[in-house]
Amino acid sequence: MINTNDFLNSFISLGLNYFTGVPDSTFKSFMTLLDSNDKNFTNRIASNEGAAIAHAAGYYLSTKKLGVVYFQNSGLGNAVNPITSLTDPEVYGIPMIILMGWRGKPGIKDEPQHKKMGAVTPQILDALGISYEILRKTDYLVQIERAKLLSEKYSQPYVLIIEPDIFDSLKKIKTKSPGIGLNRESAIKCIIESIENDDIIISTTGKTSRELFGLSSKNSRGHGKNFYNVGSMGHVSAIGLEVALQNKNKVYILDGDGAMIMHMGSLGTIGHYQPKNLTHIIFDNNSHESTGGQPTVSNSLDISKILYGCNYQKVFNIDSEVELSKVLAHDQKNLKGIVIKTKTESRKDLERPTDSPKKTKVRFMENILNEK
């Protein structure tokens, strides 16, 4: 395995000390190290993968130095636009190194949402005309040197693909405090016990959907009117908006701070159309918890004011389950936002949805279409 500290120092030794991106569990220990606030390098937290490409472009334009971008291959779709219209040598020609986690690699078991992108990642890079190679344990320093050389020579990004389980674990990094706030799973339990079984829930990818699935399995609610959005991070708000506009039932979006920030523009769209049957619940733990607890920028945001600014009519900041139950008991007459500060913690034995995405889709559609 690759020693994580040695890997980071390989970049720094080559003058590559600017990093930006979106966390990926494929190389979680490296992400954790970047979050250590070391003064020898900069780690710029990006809202999404396309923005990370733009951060690195701005860094290069200001310093003539290469930036290092990191993200999961599922985020390659977000990055394609700035890669083709900003960094491409036929446009501005901006060099950078991209560290891309290879989720869903053929032959390796992974979650269903990664299967397609995992299979086509090399072909996409080929179509984009981007040189790449798979990171190797034995001579990764040579690969980093080559990536830097060729990226600068041809004025375009160069990708190092990172396979799962290639890095060792960090033993000296202190475990972060879970912070203050509610336990998210307990808050979700409070939600499903406070709303009607006929109400619709759309849940964001990651541990939120996993917790909702586990709790609904043990509750009379069941899974019929739950849509577990296991992929497409940041898009649950747009899905939930349209479901609310097309249905008379109450709709609850269970969102996270990282996902909300990733595609925050959807908040403006929700506020514009103002479905009165929609409640948008945002669990804010200032963390990308599902990939290892790397921070988001939510600690510098006032999410409630953002929701009001996007034309949400009622917004509540919740700090107890009692208060959450009371707010959910109110008659739904206006577009509502609920912000819940939560801890960065979850059960180690947290289950995953056992149903395939297609089964979830069919069941969900049968249940909500039958009532129209």
Per-residue pLDDT reduced to its tens digit, 303-357:
999 999 999 999 999 999 999 999 998 877 899 999 999 998 888 888 888 889 9
Give the range among 36-45, 59-68, 296-305 with minimum mean pLDDT. Answer: 36-45
Average pLDDT over all residues of the chain = 93
CA–CA gap between residue 286 and residue 227 (Å, rounded): 24
**All domains of the chain in start order, with CATH:** 4-162 (3.40.50.970), 184-369 (3.40.50.970)
Instruction: Determine contact, residues 59/120, Cβ cutoff 8 Å.
Output: no
In what helix (H) or strand (E) does residue 327 lie, and over which residues does it extend? helix 321-329
Residue 167 DSSP label: B
The answer to whether residue 121 scores a pLDDT higher than 90 is yes
Rounded to whole angstroms, how far apart are CA atoms 281 and 199? Answer: 14
**Torsion region of 232: left, alpha or beta (phi above 0 gives left; psi -120 to 50 gives alpha):** left
For the sheet with 68-72, list strands across it.
Answer: 42-45, 18-21, 68-72, 96-101, 157-162, 132-134
Two tokens at 202? 């759309």
Mean pLDDT of 14-34: 91
Tokens linked to 221: 């609610």
* pLDDT for 175: 56
Backbone phi and psi for residue 10, each to the nearest 5 degrees, phi listed first: -65, -40
Closest CA to 4 of 204, 152, 161, 172: 172
Side chain identity at 27, as an amino acid letter? F
Instruction: Say which amino acid occupies 269.
Output: T
Q: What DSSP state is assigned to residue 72?
A: E
Mean pLDDT of 253-260: 96
